[in-house]
Amino acid sequence: MLRIVPVYPELLSIYGDRGNVRVLAQRARWRGLPVEVAPLRLGEDLDPAATDVILIGGGQDRDQALVADALIAQVPALRSAIADGVPVLAVCGGFQLLGHSYLDQSGRETPGTGLVDLVTTAGRRRVVGNVVVEVTMNGVKQQLVGFENHAGRTELGAGVAPLGRVVIGGGNIGDGQTEGCRVDRVLGTYVHGPLLPKNPWLADRLLAWGCEHRGLATPLDALDDRLEAAAAQAAIDIARAETQTRR
């Protein structure tokens, strides 16, 4: 049984993160894979051996502060799962919580998990708009598309690679250069909206890693992704049109 674990979804689902959970589960079901969605609730402990994909969604600053201590308490279990090959997708606030800390505009610091060497400081201007990112994974270039809406300016440590290169949009620090982070199977990103419906290739990469962890057969059977491709192209067209308008 493939087990998908969204972390604290009652608080970390502000940007349609439930959609990411539904996409992963449905794409598994379409392939006849046994799948279970098992949310990690506040006060519960993560069981690394019973976890195949971990999703950490976004939340308001207040919500991130509420879950920070609970998530930090799960760091040993998270490290164990990651070391065993369990993939992690952390979006927006979840991306920030991967790091050492988040400093908000009032000067209040929220501690992070330290799972990835990065720090985030809130900027004065929000980075908002459709975003297109070029991601190379397994030697194949893909386009990651979605929406970004964040005040955070996330600086990656010297040994941390970005998830991709910004084609359109602001990215980690709003300068249009790099977006997200990747450390082995731990992925962080500011791209949401939700992320996975328009990026089925990334959903399938997470599923393949999860299946590998659970000992289920891979590679995954191909699916008809014409609707998903059309949605992604529409998002790209909108992003390009917005860029032209700003010029």
Q: What is the average per-residue pLDDT within 36-52?
A: 97
Task: Reply yes or no on whether 213 is catalytic.
Answer: no
Residue whose C-alpha is closest to residue 94's, from 219, 4, 186, 215: 186
Per residue in 221-244, pLDDT (tens digit) is 999 999 999 999 999 999 999 887
**Predicted local confidence at residue 247, as pLDDT:** 56
Catalytic residue among 92, 150, 211, 213: 92
Task: Reply yes or no on whether 211 is catalytic.
Answer: no
Which residue segments constitute the domains of the chain, with CATH numbers given? 2-246 (3.40.50.880)
Per residue in 187-221, pLDDT (tens digit) is 999 999 899 999 999 999 999 999 999 999 889 99
> What DSSP state is assigned to residue 40?
B
Per residue in 1-40, pLDDT (tens digit) is 999 999 999 999 887 899 999 999 999 999 999 999 999 9
C-alpha distance from residue 64 to each of 10, 84, 132, 193, 227 (Å): 12, 26, 26, 18, 34
Catalytic residue among 150, 181, 192, 213: 192
